[in-house]
Every structure is written in structure tokens, then in C-alpha cells.
């Protein structure tokens, strides 16, 4: 078994991590941004390449790319994937400047600082520390920065359907400083209800589609909600 004989924090300065997080926050990557995640993906890819890390962009949909970066292991151990999404929710109606990335009371403020530009910066700096140290892990260390998590998760679907594999993965979703073995997934459904028109004087001859939808929604609340909880 390969053991870690160095402290990763010996190979980067805290200021580097702070500045990297701020740089990521300052790049808009929400759905109303031209190119969506492209600019931040290109920034991440170039940052890793500048550190001598194997990294490339994988176009997924509409020119929006994932980033896949790898530090190759010697094959004696297990591989580990760091996974995080490059998109973030819309910045409107915020009470602060969303892309200023200012620091107050030891915290970095800005849209996406927690979900999840901060985690991306941590993953990136981990790869940088390993690379700078010259340490060769037993298995591959893989970073995947994916698109579209706030929508239909096309970036993660791409990774799942690719030949990119790891023995374990750490996803940078915020979890209130607690470990979590999983997060709820996402599935989109279209449900169609069919009705039949009738005269208001004889409603019994028709079918009210809204009533059918109401019955369905109530059943979802009664049966599905408890299962999901």
C-alpha cells in the first residue's frame, strides 16, 4: 500500500488557495452567462496545465465543457476522483455584489463561494500540492469539473457514461461540515393529464384534467414524500 509521506500544505501557501477561490467566484458561470460555464472551465484547465498537471476540456453540450485532470499513479493502489460542478445559481436579488469575492470576518463572500467554487479551489490545490511534491500515488488522482449540476446534470451524466473510472469519489457539495455518503439525485418527468370538455350544466359528462392532476399530486405527497424523506 502506498502511504502519504508528506503534508500537502507544505507545498502551497494559504494565500494561493484564497486567491484561487476568489478568482473562480469572480468568473460568472450561471445560465444567463454567455457560454455558461465555458470561461471558468477554460480558467481551471489553464491553471492546472500551468502547474504541469495533465488536464483537458471535454465538450458536453452546446460547447459547454467538462474539465478532466489526472495525476497518474504507479498502479499499486486505488484511484480517487474529486468531483465538483462549475455552474452556479443565478445571482439576482442578492444584497451583496455577487462577483466581488470580498473577505469579511475570515469568510469569502460571493455567488457560488460555497456551492461550489470553494470546493473546486480545494480540489485544484490538492492536485497542485501533490504535483509540486513529486509524490507518486498508488492510484490515479482524478479531478472532474462538470457542467449543469444546477439544471439537468449533463456533465455528471457524461462522466458516468465515459470510460473515466475511479475506485472512490469525493463530491464537493456543501454538507454543513459533516460527512455524507450521498446526496439526493435529480430526475425530470413530464406528466400529462387528459380531460374531456363538457357543458358547465352537465359537468358529469366531462373529465376535469385539473382534478386528475390534483389527485395525482396528493398521492405523491402521501406516498412518495415519506419514502424520499
Active site residues: 87, 149
Which is nearest to 139 in space by CA: 71, 199, 188, 89?
71
Q: What's CA 73's distance to the chain center, in Å?
A: 25
DSSP three-state, residue 20: helix
The residues, ordered by sequence, that sit 6+ positions from 179 with a Cβ below 8 Å of its Cβ are none
- d(CA 54, CA 69) in angstroms, rounded, equals 5
Please, is 158 exposed, middle or buried when counting C-beta atoms within 10 Å of its C-beta (0-12, 13-18, 19+)?
A: buried
On the question of a cis peptide bond just before residue 214, with omega within 30 degrees of 0, the verdict is no
Cα-based torsion angle of the residue sequence 147, 152, 154, 160 in order, rounded to the nearest 10 degrees = 110
Sign for the pseudo-dihedral over CA of 154, 159, 163, 167? negative
Amino acid at each position: 500500500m502506498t502511504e502519504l509521506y508528506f503534508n500537502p500544505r507544505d507545498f502551497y501557501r494559504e494565500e494561493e488557495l484564497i486567491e484561487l477561490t476568489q478568482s473562480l467566484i469572480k468568473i460568472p458561470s450561471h445560465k444567463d452567462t454567455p457560454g455558461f460555464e465555458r470561461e471558468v472551465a477554460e480558467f481551471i484547465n489553464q491553471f492546472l496545465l500551468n502547474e504541469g498537471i495533465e488536464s483537458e476540456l471535454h465538450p458536453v453540450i452546446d460547447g459547454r465543457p467538462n474539465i478532466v485532470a489526472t495525476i497518474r499513479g504507479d498502479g499499486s493502489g486505488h484511484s480517487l476522483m474529486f468531483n465538483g460542478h462549475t455552474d452556479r445559481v443565478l445571482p439576482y436579488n442578492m444584497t451583496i455584489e455577487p462577483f466581488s469575492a470580498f473577505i469579511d470576518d475570515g469568510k469569502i463572500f460571493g455567488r457560488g463561494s460555497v456551492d461550489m467554487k470553494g470546493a473546486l479551489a480545494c480540489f485544484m490545490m490538492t492536485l497542485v500540492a501533490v504535483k509540486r511534491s513529486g509524490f507518486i500515488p498508488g492510484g490515479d488522482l482524478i479531478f472532474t469539473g462538470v457542467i449543469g449540476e444546477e439544471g439537468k446534470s449533463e456533465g455528471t451524466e457524461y462522466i458516468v457514461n465515459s470510460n473515466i473510472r475511479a475506485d472512490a469519489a469525493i463530491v464537493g457539495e456543501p454538507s454543513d461540515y459533516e460527512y455524507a455518503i450521498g446526496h439526493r439525485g435529480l430526475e425530470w418527468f413530464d406528466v400529462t393529464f387528459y380531460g374531456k370538455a363538457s357543458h358547465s350544466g352537465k359537468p358529469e359528462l366531462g373529465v376535469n384534467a385539473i382534478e386528475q392532476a390534483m389527485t395525482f399530486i396528493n398521492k405523491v405527497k402521501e406516498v412518495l414524500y415519506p419514502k424520499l424523506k
